[in-house]
Structure 1
Amino acid sequence: MATRIGQTKASFLLNGFAICLLIALVGCSTDKSGAEVEWPEITNETKPWTRWWWHDSAVNPTDLTANMEELEEAGFGGLEITPIYGVKGYEDQALLFQSDEWMDALEHTLNEGKRLDLGIDLANASGWPFGGPWISAEDACRNVQFKQYSLKTGQRLNEKVTYIQEPLIRAVGRRVEISEVKFPISSNTNLNELALDQIRFEKPLPLQTLMAYSDAGEVLELTSLVDGNGQLEWQAPEGNWNLYAVFQGWHGKMVERAGQGGEGNVIDHFSEEATRKFLKDYDDKAEGRDLSGLRAFFNDSYEVDDASGESNWTPRFFEEFEARRGYDLKNYLPALFGNDSEEKNSRVLCDYRETISDLLLDEFTRVWAGWAESHNAVIRNQAHGSPANILDLYEASHIPETEGLNPMRIKMATSAGHVSGKELIACEASTWLDEHFLANLGDAKQNFDRYLAHGVNHIVYHGTPYSPQGEEWPGWLFYAAVHFAPTNSWWPDMKALNDYVTNCQSFMQKSIPNNDILLYFPIYDTWSQKGRSMLAHFGKPQEPLTRELSELFLAKGYSFDYISDRQIQKLTAQNKLIKAPGATYKTIVVPKCEHMPLATMEKLLELAEAGATIVFQEQLPVDVPGMGDLKNRQQAYEGLVKSMEFNPVMNLSVYSRGDGNFLMSDDMDGMLEMVDVYPEELAQLGLWYNRVKRVEGTCYFITNWSDQPVDQWVTLQTSGEHAAWFNPMNRAKGKASVQKVDENQSQVYLQLAPGETLILQWYPYKVQLDDYPMMTAASEKNELSGEWTVAFEKGGPSLPASYQTTELKSWTEQSDELKKFSGTASYQISFDKPQAEASAYLLDLGEVHESASVYLNGEKLGTLVGPSYQLSIDPSLLKETNELEVKVSNLMANRIIDMDKNGVNYKKFYNINFAANKRENVGPDGVFTAAHWEPLPSGLLGPVSLTPLEIKNQ
């Protein structure tokens, strides 16, 4: 099987595939009548990957190999190593993070990855964010503090210009007194047990500057007049003077969930020096080792500011600000701290936030990416939550990665990847789908489908703990995840879900996006608003800047990607289309906003001159943001706006520029129609979809998570005469029924049950395939009645005895022993061949808890994960008398309930040890408990039926 774990940085830095694909799409021959249609190639990157937690890195070669073999057999294509907090009782087996012994384990894992064709990524930190014991206070994350003083003519400042940082300590799951912790942090030997989240010691803060502002507008810097004791040697001249003293504090954020050797200060993300010092520890420890095969280094999101206060400063901030914004921030400290006029406050704050954004991009993300390239690797980066324009951060990352359920957050990462031409866009999937032990494979599929529908093409499960082979059930666990590990009772059906993801991603990875709209992200409006704190963080579940338009677009079926000001500068226009490095679009939509940089408006006009059409919701932006060179920028912007002569066209206002146009109206649908952008009917039917371009032609990923089946002709915003359906759950394929509407639209006949997915691939030539079966069911179901034999194959705490029954019901109702059983049971029954002839038969299992593999006469027909449990049976597979076997796996929960009721301790972890997702499941000891739960329904509850199917006349 093909592998790409040795792929170099070049394919990520320049998406040559996208370029080749565009050439192929233009030159694709239509002479291939009757061509074979095949599933795309499978590689370890088309398969799903999983985060692989190393608890305190208490790993050994034998169990590493055993773990990896189990994961490869289950259909995973790669593993991301994330060292994390420890397990009590295994302290003597822990490997100090990035020690020689730890590097031995990494080297072994990489060698085994090559043998098993498993790709390997590595989190740069043990836990998150980046930091560790080698990060001293000088390179740790900072914050800014200030004091004000007032003087009048002739007065001297009596108090000292000093700021004593107040002590603060926060720990996970316990109360810690600050007296228990020594300074510096690295001198503490029990950090794993302390589980510190944030700590600030009481200490004087270094003075950054002391500025004086008179009521006459005079500004003086007094920093050099403050002596070593904080005494100011200065007498106020004539006037009333406000003095601002700025101090550099320590934010105090600690690396979360770290294992031994990884605990310590979080780095200053706004300092290249701090970033390089953090990365140097790996360089020093990896020197002379063969670590080839490591594909990517990983960052598990920003998450510095999920603490008390923000990290909002760096020692060189004043110098960086002046270099980037063109003026000295020290002259505007009253505005920075919100004490000047409203307009000046807004403009200076905007510039401050933009500078923070620039520093996070230039001093951390790009530095880290360049460092990874020096190791012939790439970076996988979660940028959401950062106090920066995350579209730019994602573009600077080789593999952008998102998480969460909100489409807007997902599309931030996928948009940046689409616009910049990233081959892979990843997600952290299935984090906290439900409470522990309650999520099933159907829940996971729904989560994956949401990501795939919004542009993700590289799913990374969250996740799989390394666990020793001899460890008692349920093995080692992680506190915030679905347990994708062999000890989960539905693990026997895991490969079916992994194969499904693989089949979907084999289409989605070898593609370029086919979205119509670039939606401008007006970040300067947020940067100019006061807000609750000095920084603004982006990629939140509900993004206010574009929420109205983005939700409208998603609901109606308009396809779009977000774009930043920086990304707009890279666009070109040709043949009325807008070309980004990674994709082509029909228009840019600017939502109603107040601020836009002069350079952005100039670029939009340049694009219009070359033939592009730019759509403005209701109005043009009113003003430029920020303070630097304000008068000249405002005059230039006003000049541009005044030069635009908009004319009414129907209910729109149109300004023609060169070969293109600016459109302005509150009628978004009308403006989009003028640029030939129409919504996809799929969205209006409640379907999730993603439309891409592949070498063969346009391709749709379509999934139905509504509560109703779809069985009808559907209009698509693509044109063609030949297409094929691919079913990624069972690898069935067949020719689609197509009706061409015009040069831009076609209709296809679509049948999709709730929870079902199909992939539609268009071709510029006739395809050699049988028709994909679209079926109609008879009105009456034939229930399979008789005696079922129920035998338990795998699970625990022990294997119950088999039994016979004529009534399908939850096995928990059969005996007290079965109330606590989690595992797999085989249900077998004999039935006669139906008398009614049919094109096929629909086997409906009815109610199932939770997943089922179906066998007919010894041959496996498929695996069903829900929410519907149906499959089609070809009549040729039926005999006069038939044996049906359904192997059903339930949840882990019932066995966990019994363990919690009986006080069996499986929650033996340091740090967060073992958090509940929902408050009602927090026990007296503050950790998760299922002791108050009742046993959950398990097994095959039916009714099981066979229904004749006939080919549907469409």
Structure 2
Amino acid sequence: MKTNKMNRILVAGSLALVLLAGMFTGACTATKSQSSPAWPEITHETKPWTRWWWHGSAVNPADLTANMEEIEKAGFGGVEITPIYDVRGSEDLSIRFQSDEWMKVFEHTLKEGQRLDLGIDLANASGWPFGGPWIQAEDACKNVQFKQFSLKEGERLNEKVEFIQQPLVRAVGKRVDISEVKFPISSNTNLQELALDQVRFEKPLPLQTLMACSDDGEILELTDRVAADGTLDWTAPAGTWKLCAVFQGWHGKMVERAGTGGEGNVIDHFSETATRKFLKDFDDKATQIDLTGLRAFFNDSYEVDDAQGESDWTPLFFDEFEARRGYDLKQHLPSLIGNGSEEMNSRVLCDFRETISDLLLDRFTVVWADWAETHGAIIRNQAHGSPANILDLYEASHIPETEGTKPMRIKMATSAGHVSGKPLIACEAATWLDEHFLSDLGDAKQNFDRYLAHGVNHIVYHGTPYSPQNEAWPGWMFYASVHFGPTNSWWNDLKALNDYVANCQSFMQKSTPDNDLLLYFPIYDSWSEKGRSMLKHFGGPREPITEEISHELLAKGYSFDYISDRQIQKLTVENSRVKAPGATYKTILVPRCEYMPLETLQKLAALVDAGATVIFHEKLPVDVPGLADLKNRQQAFEDLKQSFAFESQGELLACKAGNGRLLMSDDVDALLTQVNVFPEEAAQLGLWFSRVSRAEGTCYFLTNWTDQPVDQWMTVQSAGKQAVWFNPVDRTMGKARVQEVGEDQSKVYVQLAPGETLILQWYPAESELADYPVWESAGERLLLAGEWTVSFVKGGPTLPETFQTSELKSWPEVSDELAKFSGTASYKITVEKPAGQASAYHLDLGEVAVSAAVYLNGEKLGTLVGPTYQLNIDSSLLKETNELEVRVSNLMANRIIDMDKNGVNYKKFYNINFAANKRENVGPDGVFTAAHWEPLPSGLLGPVSLTPLELKNQ
């Protein structure tokens, strides 16, 4: 039961096309033709996919097939295989990652995927980030360490130029002493038990360089004066000297959550040699199998620095830096470590961070993408959390993938996909929605809708564990997820949600973005800030450099995509519009920022000259970032700014340049109005939306996650000859009521209950189509009274006996047996057709815990996920006497509570085992427990009612 959450509705069923017969039937059965409104094709790619965890890769062909058939039957279109940590007691079933045996079961999976029309992706690592036992110290992630010395004239250094790395062990769930860990990591035979997260051994670190800087600015390199034992053979000349030694450290990050054969060092992501060494292991092992059916290789989010310290070095860094930034970093070490002037510190640090960004793009992402193509595959990449401009990393990925719930984080991936023209933009959906066993399908729908409203068109659930068919309930499970597995009580209702997602994505995948503006992402402002460490990571829940203006734009209803400096270089102008490889925009908005590369400002000026309008919020950028050729770049930057002859035009400043304009103001609305960019009213009504362009015309995804219904005329920034509503829940459609406002603006009448979703599609021509019905109450609500027959059709630990009741109660209130039951119950009642001539009736189930499939006279009307459990029934479907059946599924929680109270062990995994999401649910053994919970409300709670309806005249 949920009385404190926003309303959510989901309906699907065999009677979807006749739920509202009469007026609505014509809308559903219109003659199809090339120009007629119709539902797009459903494919395995338009369906949602799911991450498929293989615990210890303890899989076998028979259970693989059984699992995949369950997944396909539930409406999934594909799986992403991610092998993870082992199961205690099943070690003999584990298959070593990427061994010959592993490759055989993987090949079986690919073949079954083809048979079942399930797509297959594969994580390149067992766990995350990339790494494994074949990655030794030379290819593992590195860090940089500094040591400083002071000498005066005539002095020699008495101590050795050395840095002894201090031992460190971080392990999951317990303390491990460094004496328990062997070097190299791959020589340890108990890595599942150790569950290592980060390891550093006590050892001297290799010297990268030793630089001496005098108080009058003279700089000397002394690296070749340091002996193998660290002794420096050098006497300080005149002056006072500061010596800075740079050492290459071992970051020590281990692959997280790895299964047998996948444990080991994380790679050096800034080294092409390390990247290729990692990938070569798959090449060597996969030579004897057929990879047909493999769509993509997958990389989970960059979590190399989810550790003590960060990986911020690679053996070739000095060479890479000089080649990319144009000067020798060794000559500026004082500024790198913060001992120079404030300006010099900022500029050198910015260049350091930009080089790291370049290397993550060029030495890892691009190399990995090119490698995947040699196997006839693509990459699906989560770039968020990277110490790089993730817009560029996402663009280099065939399928960018995001996660989280913050719109800005989601939009980093979708923006890069839009700008670069990616057909699919994915998300890791429904991660940690709530505590274990408490999330329901309504929670999942809200999570999915948020992604769809911000540009995602490829939902990937997080996720579904492989589990043997003979495993006792609840089977194998993953620690950080909603359990989208067959043992979940509401599994039978999941297909309705999956069908909903497929219907939405069938529109969104066959489209191009229709956002109005490009929002410049001023990453050099962030790179130039001191920060708490050497690196800046991007794509987290907050992005301070654009947070304020992004929230303002989103709240008002403006549609935008972020754009990077690299991406700006690819822009052109066509008919005064800014054209990116994947989409066309009305303008570029540059938020308030201090730094911008000269090349970026020059490109913006060129776009303006070609006819574009570029707008600046509050001011022009102040300076160029970085150090190389600084004076010349600053002069050229200032000269270009001075060439912008701004004139006052009311609230803004305007500059005519070539065939275009530059505009500047504190008022974002005034700026955007000048380029005919207007907000969508949907946002002001609290609706989440995404606007795209399809072959037929403009299309909107609209969903209402406020706690109030929307029932009114709404202005949309689009037009056409005919607008059609598509309901992605029941696949009904009908003509929208429209009022013309202007050439590119209309009003449509929208009726959306809380939690409801509709798709609005414009067409270039009229077609014979009935109106989409807009209902209003036509009489008093009628409470359904009588005796319900309650029978239990699925679940456990046992199936309770059938009983009759005239009073609907939560199962725990009925009996102790029902208090620990998780599963599905059937509620049946006889209903007489109400008197009167209503066109339809509104069925309201009242409170339900937690999902319900509704049947009328044996025919399914739909599936509801709540907490407002309502649907409309055409009066023609009602006989004089009817049987209403409601099959209610509750959460897994009540059965789990009973198991935890009685010490039944289902939490039997290595590594993190089965961690709690909330501290209060951590048991004495450090893992999740529900032993202290009380049974949760379950079943049909009512009151159940029918309300007569009539069509509303607006």
Task: Tell me if both proteins adopt one fold, taking TM over 0.5 as the criterion.
Answer: yes
The amino acid that maps onto 2:538 is F
Structure with more contact order per residue of length (Cα contacts < 8 Å, sep ≥ 6): 2
TM alignment of 1:786-865, pairs within 5 A: 786-865=786-865
Tell whether the 8 Å contact from 1:34 to 1:767 is kept in structure 2 after alignment: no
1:494 alignment partner in structure 2: 494
Give the drift of 1:867: 2.9
Aligned to 1:934, the other structure's residue is in SS state: coil
Does 2:384 correspond to 1:384? yes
1:548 and 1:35 mapped to 2: Cα distance? Answer: 43
- CA deviation vs aligned residue, 1:641-679 (integer Å, no higher than 9, x gap): 111111000110111111111111101100100000000
The answer (yes or no) to whether the contact 1:34–1:766 under 8 Å persists in 2 is no
Aligned to 1:15: none
Counterpart position of 2:598: 598
- Structure 2 residue aligned with 1:56: 56
Cα distance in structure 2, aligned partners of 1:176 and 1:210: 35
Q: Distance in 2 between matches of 1:434 and 1:122?
A: 27
Instruction: Tell me the equivalent position of 2:160.
Output: 160
Q: Say if 2:847 and 2:867, in contact at 8 Å, map to a contact too.
A: no
1: CA distance, partners of 2:705 / 2:659? 43
Per-residue displacement from partner, 1:222-270 (whole Å, max 9, x unpaired)? 0001011111111111111100000000000000000010000000000
Deviation at 1:33, TM superposition (A): 10
2:881 aligned partner, one-letter code? T
Aligned ranges for residues 530-569 of structure 1 at < 5 Å? 530-569=530-569
Tell me how far apart the structure 1 counterparts of residues 931 and 218 of structure 2 sit (CA, whole Å): 70
Query: Contact 2:493/2:853 (CA < 8 Å) preserved in 1?
Result: yes
1:366 aligned partner: 366
The question of 1:316 aligning with 2:312 is answered no
Distance 1:769 1:37 in 2: 8
- State whether residues 335 and 345 of structure 2, in contact with CA within 8 Å, keep that contact through their aligned partners in structure 1: yes
Number of the residue aligned with 1:26: none
Cα pair 1:35 1:766 within 8 Å, conserved: no
Partner of residue 337, structure 1: 337
* Matched residue, 1:940: 940
Partner of 2:668: 668
Residue 58 of structure 2 aligns to a residue whose secondary structure is coil
What is residue 138 of structure 2 aligned with on the other side?
A: 138
> Does residue 892 of the first structure (1) align with residue 892 of the second (2)?
yes
Partner residue in 1 for 2:85: 85
In structure 2, the partner of 1:16 is none
The alignment partner of 2:455 has SS state of: coil
In structure 2, what is the Cα distance between the partners aligned to 1:492 and 1:768? Answer: 37
Task: Output the TM-score relative to the length of structure 1.
Answer: 0.96
Tell me if structure 2 keeps the 8 A contact 1:735–1:767.
no
Letter in 2 for 1:483: H
Q: Which residue in 2 is equivalent to 1:5?
A: none
Residue 12 (structure 1) aligns with: none
Give the letter aligned to residue 219 of structure 1.
Answer: I
Alignment match, 1:23: none
Residue by residue, what CA displacement relative to the aligned partner does 1:414-441 show, whole Å, maximum 9, x if unpaired?
0000000000000000000000000000
Secondary structure, aligned partner of 2:742: coil
Distance 1:810 1:393 in 2: 51
The whole-number CA distance in structure 1 between the counterparts of 2:884 and 2:33 is 42
Maintained 8 Å contact 1:556/1:683: yes
In the aligned structure 1, how far is the partner of 2:335 from the partner of 2:324?
Answer: 18
Q: Which moved more, 1:348-357 or 1:940-949?
A: 940-949
Q: Amino acid of the residue matched to residue 770 of structure 2?
A: D
Distance in 2 of aligned mates of 1:653 and 1:809: 67
Contact 2:591 2:616 in 1 (8 A): yes
**Counterpart in 2 of 1:732?**
732
Indicate if the aligned counterparts of 1:33 and 1:766 stay in contact, CA closer than 8 A: no
What is the match of residue 580 of structure 2? 580
Q: Give the whole-Å Cα distance in 2 for the aligned partners of 1:36 and 1:606.
A: 43
3-state DSSP class of the match of 1:411? helix
Contact 2:781 2:947 in 1 (8 A): yes
Q: Conserved in 2, the CA contact under 8 Å of 1:414 and 1:454?
A: yes
Question: Matched residues in 2 for 1:779 and 1:76: separation?
Answer: 41
Distance of 2:67 and 2:200 partners within structure 1: 40
Q: CA deviation at 1:34?
A: 11
Q: CA deviation at 1:827?
A: 0.4
Aligned partner of 2:65 in structure 1 is 65
Q: CA deviation at 1:50?
A: 0.2
1:308-707 equivalences in 2 (<5 Å) = 308-707=308-707
Q: When the two structures are aligned, how many residues end up with a matched partner?
A: 923
Which amino acid in 2 is paired with 1:603? K
For residue 769 of structure 1, give the secondary structure of its aligned residue in structure 2. coil
| Conserved? CA contact 1:301–1:385, under 8 Å | yes
Asked whether the 8 Å contact 2:46–2:502 carries over to 1, the reply is yes
Q: Distance in 2 between matches of 1:836 and 1:557?
A: 44
In 2, Cα distance between equivalents of 1:946 and 1:324: 71
Can you list the C-alpha shifts for 1:622-652, whole angstroms capped at 9, x where unaligned?
A: 0000001111110110111111111000110
* Amino acid of the structure 1 residue aligned with 2:439: A
What corresponds to 1:223 in structure 2?
223
Give the AA of the match of 1:727: N
**Aligned-partner SS, 1:53:** strand
Q: CA RMSD in A?
A: 0.9
Q: Equivalent residue of 1:920, what SS?
A: helix
SS at match of 2:544: coil
Q: Is contact 1:852–1:887 with CA below 8 Å preserved after alignment?
A: yes
Rounded to whole Å, the distance in 1 between the matches of 2:699 and 2:916 is 41
Q: Deviations over 1:742-798 (max 9, x none)?
A: 101101110000000000010000122211110001352101100001100000000
Residues 155-206 of structure 1 deviation map (CA, whole Å, 9 limit, x = unaligned): 1111110000001100001111110000000000000110000000000000
- Write out per-residue CA displacement over residues 51-106 of structure 1, whole angstroms, 9 at most, x where no aligned residue: 00000000000000000000000000000000000110110010000000000000
How much has 1:721 moved relative to structure 2? 3.2
| Aligned-partner SS, 1:545 | helix
**Partner SS, residue 209 of structure 1:** strand
Task: For residue 546 of structure 1, give the secondary structure of its aligned residue in structure 2.
Answer: helix
Deviation string for 1:850-901 (max 9, x for gaps)?
1100000011011111232111111111101000000000000000000001
Alpha-carbon displacement from aligned partner over 1:691-721 (angstroms, at most 9, x marks no partner)? 0000111000000000000000100000223
Q: Deviations over 1:384-426 (max 9, x none)?
A: 0000000000000000000000000000000000000000000
Quote the Cα distance in structure 1 between the aligned partners of 2:881 and 2:33: 43
> Does the aligned pair in 2 maintain the 1:36–1:769 contact within 8 Å?
no
Contact 1:721–1:738, Cα closer than 8 Å, also in 2: no
Q: 1:229-378, aligned counterparts within 5 Å? A: 229-378=229-378
Moved over 2 A (4+): 32-36
Match of 2:751 in 1: 751
* Cα distance in structure 1, aligned partners of 2:867 and 2:677: 34
Code of the aligned partner of 1:236: A
Q: Distance in 2 between matches of 1:230 and 1:248?
A: 14
Q: Distance in 1 between matches of 2:34 and 2:929?
A: 60
- Letter of the aligned partner of 2:199 in structure 1? I
- 1:310 match: secondary structure: coil
1: CA distance, partners of 2:912 / 2:762: 50
- What amino acid does structure 1 have at the position aligned with 2:506? S
Unpaired stretches in structure 2, ≥5 consecutive residues: 1-31
In the alignment, residue 261 of structure 1 is paired with which amino acid?
A: G
> How many Å separate the matches in 2 of 1:867 and 1:786?
23
Alignment of 1:716-731 (within 5 A): 716-731=716-731
Which digits, 9 at most, give the CA deviation of each residue in 1:462-515, with x for residues without a partner?
Answer: 000000000000000000000000000000101000000000000000000000
Question: How far apart in 2 are the matches of 1:138 and 1:406?
Answer: 38
Q: What residue number does 1:876 align with?
A: 876
Q: Report the CA distance between 1:35 and its aligned residue.
A: 4.8
Query: Which SS does the other structure have where 1:855 is aligned?
Result: strand
Q: Distance in 1 between matches of 2:268 and 2:779?
A: 67
Where 2:703 maps in the other structure, the secondary structure is strand
Which amino acid in 1 is paired with 2:183?
Answer: F
TM-score calculated relative to the size of structure 2: 0.96
Q: Distance in 2 between matches of 1:253 and 1:76?
A: 34
Deviations 1:805-837 (A, max 9, x none): 111121111000000000000000001111021
